[in-house]
Structure 1
């Protein structure tokens, strides 16, 4: 009980600090540091779910249970006390959050299948590259966040650098004979990553897109510099994640009989880690000093955490040539992140 109370206090202080910096700091350093928290959290997700064990279905469902805990915690501890009941339970916000959560469930299920078939050190970089390119371009084109030639030039260079860097970290050594295990199914793994990428793209852009088309008014969207709206969607989003995951696990993955075994409950830890990154991702997307295109790209620099963590913690083996690729790729990811942060 003491531990739970302490966790609640720490969580509340973190959110309050972010609100303070969003309201009082023009700059840029603190905004970028906050935008990098999802990279650390999400970069660890593949490592945590692999350590927790279980099937891809159990990982997906356990993660949604953990994110549900985190989402309801955000609703009760931050949104209701700061924005009031009427804002916290605005039906339009709940619909946006719920649908965004469904898209996320599709993305996560595909990603976990990809991890199981390709390995974390290959699946995560490929997923990252697709998300970086898709999310940044959607935000730039559909949401109109890049409005000058300078932003398009350096934004495009940054996307190419981060995407190429992510691909390099996953590049196999062509000089080595294939030693694929029965689980290492490249084709089906790549298809799973593609589906995952599409799901994540829609999950990222949906909350701001609904404001762009007028379903969410500017008054609601921009309240408290967007912080209230972006934190309010996290609760209903987590409910959509759970329901979406249940449908996918039961009807598509056909693992209804094993979905409540130990692997699922252990992966609630994965969901808590992911939930932390999710809150800060949407806080950063709402921050006018950052925006969705930059926030989405910076969040994907977690590929460095995931790749090196898989090598040193999960003991995924790499040849010397692959380590050179990974080193070059990591440098490109960092350079791209710095470029996009400058936008």
Structure 2
């Protein structure tokens, strides 16, 4: 049952890049959609669970974490336009796992077989990235390297968001609504500075779907991470990668080499199986 619940944010996260590429639009359209979707989900959570009041300091910290979240999402969406969903998702998840692994190693250390499995999963994903880097998937080496830098910075921003969330998360999710307010305000400011016409363009409203998917995956992750700690992070990452890779290969035909398809799918399924075993 716990694994089934974990699949909700995993599927949402995996579908988000596919919808982003399918819906299209400018980066400003997508960011505005993210902001509006975040506000909708944040308001829904606030009205449904009636969270307790939080201090002014926690409220401002929650707003700030929303800014970090939007910066991370901005980098992901920009990289997606540069190199496609398959490469973007692999780099994104691997970079976040690397940062998470390092944090875990520094502060807590790894324990037993589960820790070794998680490290092997990260190494496997990193290996897949380098194969993609040297096998042209409709993107040049320069674009790949630029996207690599952008995604690592965005992953660091995501890590700041989740770190702040873990600090202020007391279990009642009173921090989540102000976080989504921070995402919404940051999105509005970004659109005003880059392309104000996005407010009246249909593509912005279509891209609310992206914001809904991202917000659902985020609230699901924060809930599960509080209960199960780091292992759930890997489970969600592995499922999301498999979904996005299959979509990129089948729907958008981003990977043409048959051997590379088999390698990526086999690697993703191996990672998923390893993580499922580590949960027991």
What is the TM-score normalised by the length of structure 1?
0.73
Matches within 5 A, 1:186-335: 186-210=144-168, 221=170, 226=171, 228=172, 231-251=173-193, 254-258=194-198, 260-287=200-227, 290-291=228-229, 293-301=230-238, 302-335=240-273
1:120 matched residue in structure 2: 85
2:137/2:254 contact within 8 Å kept: no
Contact 2:6-2:220 within 8 A present in 1 as well: yes
> Alpha-carbon deviation of 1:51?
1.5
Q: Unpaired segments of 5 or more residues in structure 1?
A: 1-29, 212-220
> Residue 130 of structure 1 contacts residue 163 of structure 1 at CA under 8 Å; is this kept in 2?
no
The aligned runs of 1:1-343 (5 Å cut-off) are: 30-78=1-49, 80=50, 83=51, 87-139=52-104, 141-142=106-107, 144=108, 149-150=111-112, 154-165=114-125, 167-168=127-128, 171-172=131-132, 174=134, 179-180=138-139, 185-210=143-168, 221=170, 226=171, 228=172, 231-251=173-193, 254-258=194-198, 260-287=200-227, 290-291=228-229, 293-301=230-238, 302-342=240-280
CA–CA distance in structure 1, aligned partners of residues 139 and 165 of structure 2: 40
**TM superposition score normalised by structure 2:** 0.87
SS at match of 2:92: helix
Change (3 A) 1:333 1:274: same
Report the CA distance between 1:255 and its aligned residue: 3.0
Change (3 A) 1:313 1:193: same
State which drifts further: 233-242 or 325-334.
325-334
Structure 1 residue 73 displacement after superposition: 0.7
Name the CA distance, whole Å, in 2 between partners of 1:139 and 1:259: 41
What is the DSSP-based 3-state SS (H/G/I as helix, E as strand, rest coil) of the residue aligned with 1:112? helix
Question: What CA distance in whole angstroms lies between the structure 2 residues aligned with 1:341 and 1:149?
Answer: 13
Give the superposed CA RMSD.
Answer: 2.7
Structure 2 residue aligned with 1:4: none
Corresponding residue pairs, total: 279
Structure 2 unaligned residues grouped into runs of 5+: none
User: Residues 50-96 of structure 1, C-alpha deviation per residue, up to 9 Å, x if partnerless?
Assistant: 12111223212211211110111100112x1xx4xxx1454344233
Which of structures 1 and 2 has the bigger CA Rg? 1
